[in-house]
């Protein structure tokens, strides 16, 4: 008998959960307050070799700093690495400078 009462109570509880009204529709996606996104007019610098690689990554960093996606201390660390890449590039070591940019990007989580 107690098993019947428990089963009957469970069925009643489940039946009470059934609803014929529609589920609420999700709210339209909105940008969270305080979060900035890259401006629509943002364009990466053009250029070939190490000069272009360095300029593009610096542009990304400047944008990330401006939009709050990185901190000033991380930006400064990356800029120090870009100065090393600048020196290699200016010394004619384009491959080494571009490799340094790629390694820096990887170390700081950029694809």
**What would the 3-class secondary structure string for 64-84 be?**
HHHHCCCCHHHHHHHHHHHHH
pLDDT of residue 86: 97
Model pLDDT for residues 11-63, shown as the tens digit of each residue? 555 555 555 556 556 555 555 555 567 777 778 889 899 999 999 999 999 99
**C-alpha to C-alpha distance for 65 and 52, rounded to whole angstroms:** 20
**C-alpha to C-alpha distance for 97 and 84, rounded to whole angstroms:** 8
The single-letter DSSP state of residue 26 is P
**C-alpha to C-alpha distance for 25 and 101, rounded to whole angstroms:** 46
């Amino acid at each position: 008998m107690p098993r019947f009462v428990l089963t009957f109570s469970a069925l009643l509880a489940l039946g009470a959960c059934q609803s014929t009204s529609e589920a609420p529709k999700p709210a339209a996606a909105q940008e969270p307050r305080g979060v900035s996104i890259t401006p629509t007019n943002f364009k990466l610098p053009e250029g070939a070799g190490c000069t272009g690689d360095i300029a593009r990554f610096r542009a990304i960093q400047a944008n990330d700093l401006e939009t709050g996606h990185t901190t000033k201390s991380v930006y400064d660390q990356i800029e120090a690495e870009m100065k090393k890449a600048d020196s290699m590039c200016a010394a004619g070591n384009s491959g080494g400078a571009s490799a340094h940019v790629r390694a820096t990007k990887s170390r700081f989580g950029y694809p």
